[in-house]
Structure 1
C-alpha cells in the first residue's frame, strides 16, 4: 500500500510540479524513498545546501510563474532554508517548502534536532501547517499551493518522519472533521473602482510631464504600459525587479532608477509633474519626487501597499494588465511632445555616458563596466539573466540593454548575497533551450556559488550541450559594494580586515570539475572571452580580473554622501586609485552635456 510520502509526491504531480530542489536527511527519509519510487516524476534535484534549494525554488517561480518547491530535513536542514524563503517572501514569489520533523512521539521532549518549526517558519510563511494524520496531507498540500499562489508568498508543510511512512489516506473517512479538498486554482481578475479609474485618468490627462516607474507587477502588461506611455508622451523607468518589463531599445525607456540608476531616470523624476507607479514598491524616497512636486497615480494588486511610497491622488488596487486595459480608453493623447523629446534626448546622452565609462581602462586591469558592455551587444536571443548582490549588480543594471523576449531577475527586496548562481541553475532546468547568464561577484561566488558548480557537475548531462550557460565572476579580491558603502554612507575608509578576500582561480576550479573555465586578465580580450564562453558546449565559469577602484557612481552625488566619501578617501589605502578613476569617470559624464557633443 502507498505511504503518505507517496501520496505527497502524487499530489505534487497533480499540482504540476516537475522538480523539487532539496538536500537529504533522516527527517525526510520517507520522502526520499517515495522520490525513488516516483522514478523522476517529480524529480529530486540534489543541491549542495538547503539555502540553495530555496533560492532555486524562488528562481523557478520567477522564471516560470509556477510554484517553486524545495525540501529539507528537520532541524538544521529546515533552518538553512530560511534565507532563500525570505527572498521569495519579499519578492512576492509562490514557493512551497516541505520540511521533515521528528516523530510525533518524541515532540516536546527536547529530542535531537527537535525545533519548533511552526514558530521558526511563522514569519516567512503565509501558511504553515504540520501534518499529524495521514488523512490531513491532502488538504494541507492543497491549501499550501492555493495560499502560495493567492498571496504570491511562501507556504510551509511540516511532515513528521513517522507520518511519512504511514499508510496513505487519499480520501479521508466521511466523518465529522474530515476535509475534502481539490487541486486547482485560477488567477482572479482584479479591477479598481470605476470612480477611482476616472480620477486616475483625470490626473494623468492633466499632467504635462508624466514619469512612469514599473516593477515586476507590470511584467504581464508590457503592451499596455507601452500604450499608456505613447498616449501620455511619458518616459518609463524600471525598478530592478522590473528590469525585463520593457526592452531597453525603446527610446523613452530611461533604464534603472536609484543608487544603481541612470541619469536619464534621475532627471525625469526630478522634473516630472506627474508620477505613475505600476506594480512596484520601490522604497527609496530620495530618488522619488519631492513631496508636493508631483501628483501621483499608482496601480498595485496589494491594497496594503498602495500609496505607501509617495502620496497618491488616485489609488488603483488591481492587476496591472487589467487595470491599464480599463484605463487606456479614458486617456487622451498629448499633442505636445516636448517632454517626450527631452526624455529621449536624456536617454541618448545616458547611453553615450555608459559607453564612455565602459571604454575607460586604467592600466592593465579590466574595467568591470566593460564586461557588461561587451556582453550587451552579444546577448543571445531569449537570454535569461540573473545577478547576485554586489558591485557587479551596478554594471548588470546599467550596461546590459535587454531586448524583447529576454528575462532577468535578482534578489530585489532582500538584496541577499547568494542567489545569482542558483537562480541561473533553476532557470536552466526550467528552460533547457534558452541561454542563461549569471553575473556574480567573487564574494558571493566564494560564499556559496562555487559549491553549486558541483551541482552543475552533478547534472552535466542535462546542463551541457545546449545554449550557453555562463557564470560570469567579477574577481577583484574585495567585497566591493560594502567597501564603497563604507566610504559613501559611513565616511570610513576601506577596512582591509573585513573587505579583502582571497584570489581564487575560479576558471581553473571549473576545469577541475569538468566545466569550461576561462580567465580573462586583459582589457583588450574581454570581447573575445565572451565569444569563447558563449560558444562553449559546456557550462562555463568566465572569470574577469576587474578593477576594484571603479566606483558605482550614483546618477547625482548627494551632498552628505559626497562629504563622507571625501572624508573616507583621505585615509583610504586606495586613495590614489579611486581619486584618479572617480575624477575621470565623472568628467566623462559631465563632458557629454557640453555644447557640441551632438546629443540634441
Structure 2
C-alpha cells in the first residue's frame, strides 16, 4: 500500500520527535487515526475523555517539557472543543500545534454535517500560523512551519486537513512553480542580546539603587542562577509572578513568594518600599501591585519586544533572552555595601512564613484548606511537579506551597480557566514519567473536568516509571472563589443556587478506578494521608473535606474589600457567623508574635 497523506503526517511528527499526540477520534480525522494504527501507534495516540482535555494535556506537556505539545480533534464539534485549551496556550505563551479535521473538500460550502468554517473560528487563537492543507504537496511545509512557528513565537498554531485528503496517496512537493519545499525537522535556538549601551544604562540604575526589587516570571526560568547573582550583588529581594513560582526556591531567605491578589505580605512590602525595580521574563499585568508610579526607577528584560515596557513605566527596556542578558549585565554591576534593605526583606520573609504556619493551624470545620498545602509542603519530594487549578485552592497553592529543589509547578496563569489541573498533570507525566506529579483541585473544577480524566490516568499509568500521580480535591461543595468574589467585590451574600455544588465522594469514584483513595475529614488525618499517597505505587486521590468559610484574605486587603464582605454578612449571607469567626481567627495570626505553638 502506498503512503497516504495521513501516513506522512504521522511519520513527520515522529521525525520531529513528537512522542505523543493528545487527541480524541472522530470521522473527520479517520485517515490520520488509521495511520497511527499502521505506524504501530508511534507517536502514541493519547486518548483524552474530551477534546478540551486533550488540548490542556498538550499545554501541560509543553509547559513542563519545554517542547511542542500536539493535540488533535475531528472536524466541527471536536475542533470547537479544543479552543479553550488553545486559548490557554495563547495567553500563557506556550508552543502547541493543533491538528484538526474538516469535512471532505467535495462537500465544503454545502452546509454538510459537522461543516464549520474553521479558518475564521481559529483566526484569533492561532493567529501566528493557521493553514488549511488542500493538496498533499502542501503538507510538509505546512506542518514544519506550524511546529517551528509554535516554538519560535511560543504560541499555538493550527493545521486543518480535510477528511478525504488524509486518505489520498502522498506525493512530495516538486521542484516546480507554485510548489513549496521544506527542510528536515529541527529548530534553531538563537540567543538575542540587547546593545551594550542599553546594558550599561541598566547597570547604572541598579548600581545606584538602595532598595532593589526583582520580579521574575516564567521567562526567567532558564536564568535562575543569574537572577540569584544579581540579587546577591544588589542586595535585592525577589518576588515571583504566579507563572514564575517555580523559577526560584522558597527556601532562599530573600525570595518573597508570589505577588498580586494571591500574593504574600513580603512581596507587597517589597514593591511598596523599593526604589529600583528589575522585571525579568514577566508580563505580570496588575500594576496596582507594583511600586507607585514615579517611586521606582525600572528596568525590564523580555524576549518579546512587543510586550515590553507596558506594565510599568520602565526607564530601560532590554529586549533579549533572560539568561544571556543577565550574564552580559553582571560584570557591570557593583556589590552594594549597605545590606540594610536585604536584612529587612529577609526579616519580612521569615516573619511571613511563621504567619502562614499559624494560619494553617487555625481550627476550621472540618479542615482548614491552608493546612492541606502546608502539610504537603512538609513532605513533598524535591523533584515533584505540582499543577494547580483555578479557584480558591489557587490561593493556598500560591501562598502556602514552598518550592524547593528541582520542583516544577504551573497553572492556567492568564486565562485562569477552570479545569486544567488534572489534564495538566497528565501532560506532566508524559513529559516526566519518572517524577511524582500532584494536582491541586477544587471540587468545582473536579466536577467540571477532573473526574473524567481520572479514567485517563487509570488507563495510562502503566507507562510511567514513577506511577505516582496524586490528585488532591479541596472538597467544600462550594464554587468558593466566586463566592468570595461576590462578597469582597460586590458586597453580595452567597447565592446558594449558583454557588453550591452536589456532594459526592471523590474517593469512592477514584477507588472504583483502582486508585489509592483516601478520604480526610479531620486535620489530624492530613499528614498521614499525604504520607500514604506519596508512598503508594499507583495513582492516588485525597478527598479532603474543607471549610468553605476560611477566607482567602490577601495580606494587603483594602478597606473597600473588607467593607464589602461586611456588607455581604449584613445582607444575610447564609454562613455569616461562622464566616466572621473564621475570618477574625485567620487575620489575627498576622499580628501574633513568635513562631506557632
Instruction: Find out whether 1:268 has 2:270 as its counterpart.
Output: yes
Residue ranges of structure 2 left out of the alignment (5+ in a row): none
What does residue 234 of structure 1 align with?
A: 236
Aligned pairs for 1:300-449 (under 5 A) are 300-363=302-365, 365-449=366-450
Partner of 1:452: 453
Conservation of the 8 A alpha-carbon contact between 1:231 and 1:334: yes
Aligned residues: 592
8 A Cα contact 2:54 2:72, kept in partner: yes
Moved >6 Å (runs of 4+):
none
Report the alpha carbon displacement of residue 487 of structure 1 after superposing the two structures with TM. Answer: 0.7
CA distance in 1, matches of 2:463, 2:314: 49
Offset of residue 23 of structure 1: 0.2
Distance in 1 between the 2:354 and 2:174 partners?
Answer: 70
The 3-state SS of whatever aligns with 1:438 is strand
Is residue 203–residue 313 contact of structure 1 (8 Å, CA) maintained in 2? Answer: no
Q: Secondary structure at the match of 1:386?
A: strand
Q: Provide the TM-score with structure 2 as the length reference.
A: 0.98
Q: Tell me what 2:482 maps to.
A: 482
Tell me which residue corresponds to 2:70: 69
TM-aligned CA deviation for residue 34 of structure 1:
0.3
The 5 Å alignment of 1:519-538 reads: 519-538=519-538
Measure, in 2, the Cα distance between the counterparts of 1:576 and 1:598: 29
- What RMSD, in angstroms, separates the aligned Cα atoms of the two structures? 1.1
**3-state SS of paired residue (1:345):** helix
Query: 2:576 maps to which residue?
Result: 575
Contact 1:491 1:565 (C-alpha < 8 Å) held by counterparts: yes
How do residues 466-477 of structure 1 correspond to structure 2 at under 5 angstroms?
A: 466-477=466-477
CA drift at 1:275: 1.0
Matches within 5 A, 1:124-135: 124-125=125-126, 126-135=128-137
Give how far 1:18 is off: 0.5
> What corresponds to 1:251 in structure 2?
253
- In the alignment, the residues of structure 2 paired with residue 304 and residue 137 of structure 1 have an alpha-carbon distance, to the nearest angstrom, of 31
Per-residue CA distance 1:156-204 (angstroms, 9 max, x = gap) = 00000111001012x3222101111112211111111221111111111
**Which residue in the other structure is 2:159 paired with?**
157
| Distance in 2 (alpha carbons) for counterparts of 1:540 and 1:546 | 18
2:220 aligns with one of 206, 218, 238: 218
Matched, 1:78 2:79: yes
- The 3-state SS of whatever aligns with 1:221 is helix
Classify the secondary structure of the residue corresponding to 1:354.
Answer: helix
Alpha carbons 1:24, 1:72 under 8 Å: kept? yes
Q: CA separation in 1, counterparts of 2:328 and 2:54? A: 40
Q: Does 1:290 align with 2:292?
A: yes
Q: Shift of the alpha carbon at 1:398?
A: 1.1
Q: CA deviation at 1:598?
A: 7.8
Q: Deviations over 1:438-475 (max 9, x none)?
A: 10000000001000011112223224x73521000000
Match of 2:38 in 1: 37
Give the drift of 1:228. Answer: 0.3
Question: Which secondary structure does the structure 1 equivalent of 2:100 belong to?
Answer: strand
Report the Cα distance in structure 2 between the residues aligned to 1:431 and 1:381, rounded to whole angstroms.
Answer: 14
Query: Is 1:561 equivalent to 2:561 in the alignment?
Result: yes
Tell me which residue corresponds to 2:208.
206
Distance 1:271 1:173 in 2: 64
The DSSP-based 3-state class of the residue aligned with 2:556 is coil
1:220 aligns to what SS in structure 2?
A: helix
Q: Distance in 2 between matches of 1:598 and 1:13?
A: 55
Conservation of the 8 A alpha-carbon contact between 1:236 and 1:253: yes
> CA distance change for structure 1 residues 328 and 320 in 2, over 3 Å: closer, same or farther?
same
Contact 1:215 1:245 in 2 (8 A): yes
- 1:132-147 to structure 2, matched below 5 A, reads 132-147=134-149
Counterparts of 1:159 and 1:73, CA distance in 2? 10
Q: Using the TM superposition, give the Cα deviation of residue 494 of structure 1 relative to its aligned residue in structure 2, in angstroms.
A: 0.7
| Partner-residue secondary structure (3-state), 1:219 | helix
**Equivalent position of 2:20 in the other structure:** 19
5+ residue gaps, structure 1 = none
Q: The residue matched to 2:248 in structure 1 has which SS?
A: coil
Q: Which residue of structure 2 lines up, in the alignment, with residue 178 of structure 1?
A: 179
Q: Distance in 2 between matches of 1:546 and 1:143?
A: 48
CA displacement, residues 247-280 of structure 1 (integer Å, 9 cap, x when unaligned): 1110000001111111110111100001111000
